[in-house]
Structure 1
Amino acid sequence: MINYREILRLHSLGYSQRRIESSVRSSHQTVKSVLEKAKAQGISWPLEDDVTNAMLDELLSGKEQKGNSPYAEPDFAYIHKELSKKGVTLTLLWQEYCDNCRANGQQPYMSTQFGDKYRRWARVTKATMRITHKPGDAMQVDWAGETIPYYDAATGDEYKAYLFVAALPCSCYIYVEACSDMKQENWLLCHVHAYEYFGGVARLLIPDNLKTGVISNTRYETRLNESYRELAEYYGTAIVPARVRKPQDKSIVEKSVGFSTTWITAAMRERKFFSLAEVKEAVAERLEIINTTPFQKRPGNRREAYLSEEKEFMLPLPSVPYEPAVWKQATVRNDYLISDGQNKYSVPYDLIGEQVQLRLTKNTVEIFFKGERVASHHRLTVFQTQPVVKPEHMPEKHRRYLRYNADDFRLWAKNIGNSAERVVDYFLKSGSSQEQGYKSCVALMKYGEKYGKEKLERACEGMLEISTVPSIRTIAIILKNGKEPERKTSSPTNSEKYGITRGAAYFKKGGERNA
């Protein structure tokens, strides 16, 4: 029997055909024919140990066909290609094979023989390596362990760029992106960018058990981060985290991480970057090289394999890309405000003391209580000292205060009397802004409600008689006592004139001190 295994092994080592003929003691035509048929059927070295010369003889010499076998030989390459399609099984293909044989007057193999022959063909040609994953079925994601340094051009400070890697197991098409950190916002954004790069969404999403995506993953329960679950729901995919300490569950992305470490991180080790933007651009360039470099053991490259075998099975992208949202918990304080970490926003005042959930996107702040949205604000991009407050979130007395303005105060005072009008005008003009006098004006209005217009007007008149600097406290005393404080007519004494400061005479020898 021809030593098929040795012929293929020597050929893989680069031996010439003449040396192979001499080593295996086969004719020139035999060796040439074996190599041509092996190439046509995708059979190459190395082969599995259980692949015997007898199996290779059956595949490459076609003895069953030469012996006028009554059975029609299946087209295994066609079967393999069809099996990669969604919903197609070996049983369905065997049924179609039988129908085709009967239509042509041929004898089909039984289902068990059909399956055995296909699996033997697949094992020898290594086709099983390509059908373990259905096209469009899964996207595996992870962070690469190695980082890319970049530097501040002014200070020379060193920073690290982290690599996000996403891989489609069927075509081995990959997406790589450089990020400033591995926090949740970048994690979610990278998924969005990966889907846009692929032009579609895989049915399953297989991450590792990192905290930005998975809260816990036990034998009985998987708890996902709310933001990550929301992203999957938006794109219509399902998150199935890899089992803890089971890297084989995402073997393709593990290999892709190693591949990107070699062909991106290591390949750029001599380059020096001075911004994250430069790193991103360089990574994108290397990514194009990776996805367009020809495969070593099969025709085409990653991009061609994706376009021809997988793209049509990807789920369509939504019309609008997902806007990443970060969820966090907060307790509503007495000022009925919550913070996004930079600015403050109002919630309904009756939630004071309650715990609420914040959904933060780039442009919005949403507040949820027991699963129901109770408030929404446009998110500020820069720090602002004043909180963002909606009037409907405030108690009635706070809303009333918010509606106050200088014109309303003056109009009210005019209805009280001339003296009240002068006092209000002073309150509004005494500070650097009118708003500083609002509190005194509000207090004056409350006294008007309590004591009546006439008493308030007389109190303001009395206040102006004793001082040109009205004080809300003095007015309150006048109203409470029913009369104005006595005015001081006597000239101030030395102690009143100087307060606690002692004059020079106090320290003179023999002066008043010793009198």
Structure 2
Amino acid sequence: MAELLVQERDINGFAPLNWYNGKVVFNSGFLLLADHYNFLPRACRPRRARTKGKVERMVKYLKENFFVRYRRFDSFTHVNQQLEQWIADVADKRELRQFKETPEQRFALEQEHLQPLPDTDFDTSYFDIRHVSWDSYIEVGGNRYSVPEALCGQPVSIRISLDDELRIYSNERLVASHRLCSASSGWQTVPEHHAPLWQQVSQVEHRPLSAYEELL
């Protein structure tokens, strides 16, 4: 990983930074990324093409090369596998006109100047807060998902990964996980989450009549 990353203002609709009164303000999510990978973000000056990096038009290259070769994917894991193969066999083998070298050759020269990557990946999950209802569910995307009954009435945090895994946390502790489903699939319930509630109902239903006679 590079120690310094020179960043443009806008990347295909995503703005990691903005300028206010001549000062740069980085997006909070981008700063979390910089902290995780231990690089210093630096902003390109507006209308100063010389401050920009050499890597340009990568989206167009992907569309016209990778997505022409590979058109169907079973999962994000499959996409990543195909990308790794394409990078090794195609992208890293092409000659860069300006340098008269391939990316593979350039990387061999630059590798010793790079920092090692962290042991963990950066968490790209969508983050939000939910409140657990009285019946021990939370609502996400039009459907309901169970959580342990002890959390009824409490706030919990949720994280949704790119492959639609819903993880539910209470005080930073993972308490439940589900696969996201459409509302037509019905409420998603883990029976163990509600077992104590059913035990309470069972105790009420089987209470002997003598218990009520004491109240008369």
TM-score normalised over the length of structure 2: 0.60
Pairing partner for 2:207 from 430, 441, 445: 445
Pick the structure with more helix per residue: 1
Output the amino acid matched with 2:92.
N
In 2 relative to 1, CA 233–218 (structure 1 residues): closer, same or farther, beyond 3 Å? same
Is residue 319 from structure 1 mapped to residue 126 from structure 2 by the alignment? no
Q: CA deviation at 1:382?
A: 6.2
Q: How do 1:52-71 residues align onto structure 2 when only pairs under 5 Å count? A: none
Partner of 2:179: 381
In 2 relative to 1, CA 273–375 (structure 1 residues): closer, same or farther, beyond 3 Å? closer
Q: How do 1:284-295 residues align onto structure 2 when only pairs under 5 Å count? A: 284-285=85-86, 288-295=89-96
Is residue 236 from structure 1 mapped to residue 28 from structure 2 by the alignment? no
Pick the structure with more strand per residue: 2
In 2 relative to 1, CA 390–324 (structure 1 residues): closer, same or farther, beyond 3 Å? farther
Partner of 2:199: 403
- Secondary structure of 1:377's aligned partner: strand
* Distance in 1 separating the partners of 2:146 and 2:39: 33
Partner of 1:115: none
Output the amino acid matched with 1:445.
R
Q: Is the 8 A contact 1:364 1:376 kept in 2?
A: no
**Structure 2 residue ranges without an equivalent (≥5):** none
**Structure 1 residue ranges without an equivalent (≥5):** 1-200, 405-437, 456-479, 481-515
Q: Is the 8 A contact 2:166 2:177 kept in 1?
A: yes
* Distance in 2 separating the partners of 1:313 and 1:272: 33
- Secondary structure of 1:358's aligned partner: strand
* Distance in 2 separating the partners of 1:232 and 1:242: 16
In 2 relative to 1, CA 282–332 (structure 1 residues): closer, same or farther, beyond 3 Å? closer
1:64-122 Cα offsets, whole Å, 9 max, x none, are xxxxxxxxxxxxxxxxxxxxxxxxxxxxxxxxxxxxxxxxxxxxxxxxxxxxxxxxxxx
Identity %: 13
Output the amino acid matched with 1:442.
V
Q: CA deviation at 1:233?
A: 2.8
Choose 1 or 2 for highest CA Rg: 1
Q: Is the 8 A contact 1:364 1:377 kept in 2?
A: no
Q: CA deviation at 1:294?
A: 3.7
Q: Is the 8 A contact 1:209 1:241 kept in 2?
A: no
Q: CA deviation at 1:323?
A: 4.7
In 2 relative to 1, CA 330–294 (structure 1 residues): closer, same or farther, beyond 3 Å? same
- Matched residue pairs, number? 200
* Distance in 2 separating the partners of 1:447 and 1:242: 79
TM-score normalised over the length of structure 1: 0.30
Output the amino acid matched with 1:203.
E
* Distance in 1 separating the partners of 2:44 and 2:159: 27
Q: How do 1:417-456 residues align onto structure 2 when only pairs under 5 Å count? A: 442-445=204-207, 448-452=210-214
Q: Is the 8 A contact 1:346 1:390 kept in 2?
A: no
